[in-house]
A and B are shown apart, each in its own frame.
Chain A
């Protein structure tokens, strides 16, 4: 049934595919191009490389600053993720039981922290916390990162709830299950993919957060993005490329997790 293509059309199609390939290369190659440099034996960040070596990874894993930054990022990320996931999941469950108008208005409010420019959030938290002596501490960072991560949890959990057959929960309650048991046995397993992808989003947000961190972190709270920020601004050492490679691998792993969850949800729900 395909209409016959003229030569001009075929050339157009080829040019179009080439252009798309170029854009996709633009997206993916810059990061990939940095990876080999992290294995460079020399200390210049240029090609051709002078030989292969793991010295920059060794530097990363023995440097007190990079290790402290990794620990801080993990610590803040985990706490912020737990907080964001708990608050976001509860809110999404509550929103699901409201009428459309209220649900949409509240959902729009809960999404705001990712819409408002981060610099405004960072600067207002700084102006509030600095006089109280709460900057240069973990408390403010965990709170701020949880704030930025919670919207993703609300979105992903709400999305799984949209396909959730409420009859299942009513049946469980009607058969005499306590509300908490019904939640644990029926609701939670069904929304779990949404909860986990929301948590992954929240963790990635915290792990990548730099702007609020610039305002609120003291010397004891240096995170990986902060360490990289300073490194890029002052003098790029090849250790940064090792850190970038490790963070890139983490991103690939996170995409894998979220993709798997998405496919699992699609499979469970079947063709709509």
Chain B
């Protein structure tokens, strides 16, 4: 190296080179900041913000925040609320507020809109006026829900994302069973990710070994067999599975023709379909890192162990397998990280009970517009992904550190 090296620039030109490097990096940095860091940051902030009620009823929100939360609020608060209800009627702010309240207490949406239609400002007995419009206004629970929604900050969404809620007296308690869904969804997501990863490892490991130790011509061909599905659109592959696994599809046809089953099996729109399609999509992600690690090991350790008298399986388990640990970890983390963020495949080939967390993030984002809850669920998914990515980055760095 030393003899043929052209002198590296020094001093001022070195500074200019450094400046040039940062100028080259800056555009992508700014681009990623604008399209990625800032949007996600703003989204995550929504998980602790609660602006909808206060936007429609600013003075009521202030009054409710000052109320101690016991029994019913002071009558002045009710009168303020009535005046603001009347003013908000027909405006476009009352609907988000109603949606937010309804998410906490079912039925609140219609109650609020109906009350707004009949509201009029009164000089005294605000609570009585409200109760005359709808008897439910005499219930303290209703006012407690409004107080919880008064904002500006809230732990409502974060608690809801793990099936918890604040009770009317302000303590944290479990969500009623009918509304507690997310813990199940998270467990299901992690479990599907685990099963998919396990299948990918069991199916991918032998194939990676075969490719890594095959003669060059065969290895290239086999690698292409792995790469082609990898490059084929996920939609194409999912379509293929829908066609193959449907009731009258090829797989059921073969099973019946060979006499293994008499009635067609339900292979799709259930967990089986999700697992099959996800393993198919993610398997190359397992094979490729395993292959690159195995390629570096080569066949000689196995041969050496066997020539020293070890049986193939013994040589494999004691000599070869431990050397591929980095590849296993990298492939497994890659597959697992991808799997827990999956959305399209479960949506297309899964049933109602197979939807993973991403489905609910999408659902709350663009169908019910409950962005606070979508943000809270995103935050949890991001935390899980981030921890796994850190683990992955540690594996990736190690070979380079050894250089």
Residues of A in contact with B (beta carbons under 8 Å apart): 1-3, 9, 12-13, 16-17, 19-20, 23-24, 26-28, 30-31, 33-34, 37, 44-47, 86-88, 90-91, 93-98, 104, 106, 108-110, 112-113, 115-128, 143-144, 146-147, 150, 154, 167, 170-171, 173-174, 179, 204, 207-208, 210-211, 214-215, 224-225, 228-229, 231-233, 236, 240-241, 244, 247-248, 251-252, 254-255, 259
Contact = CB atoms under 8 A, between A and B. Distances in A.
27 contacts: A1-B303, A3-B306, A23-B204, A26-B280, A31-B229, A33-B250, A46-B253, A47-B250, A87-B31, A94-B23, A95-B21, A95-B25, A97-B17, A97-B20, A104-B397, A126-B365, A127-B375, A128-B43, A150-B32, A170-B6, A208-B235, A211-B358, A232-B235, A236-B239, A244-B236, A244-B240, A255-B228
B346 to A, nearest CB: 11
Interface stretch (B51-59, B128-136, B171-179, B336-344): B336-344
Nearest to B308: A3
A23 B207 contact: yes
A121 to B, nearest CB: 7
A215 B242 CA distance: 24
Contacts of A255: 224, 227-228, 231
A108 B393 contact: yes
Contacts of A3: 303, 306-307, 309
A255 B222 CA distance: 13
Contacts of B228: 28, 31, 251-252, 255
A120 B206 contact: no
B186 to A, nearest CB: 13
Interface stretch (B33-41, B113-121, B152-160): B33-41
Interface in B292-314: 303, 306-307, 309, 311-313
Interface string B89-100: 000000000000
Interface residues of B, number: 92
Contacts, number: 272
Nearest to A168: B6
Q: Is the interface of A mostly helix, strand, loop or mixed?
A: helix
Given A46-B248, A91-B27, A124 B39 contact: yes
B105 interface: no
A96 B25 CA distance: 10
A60 B241 CA distance: 21
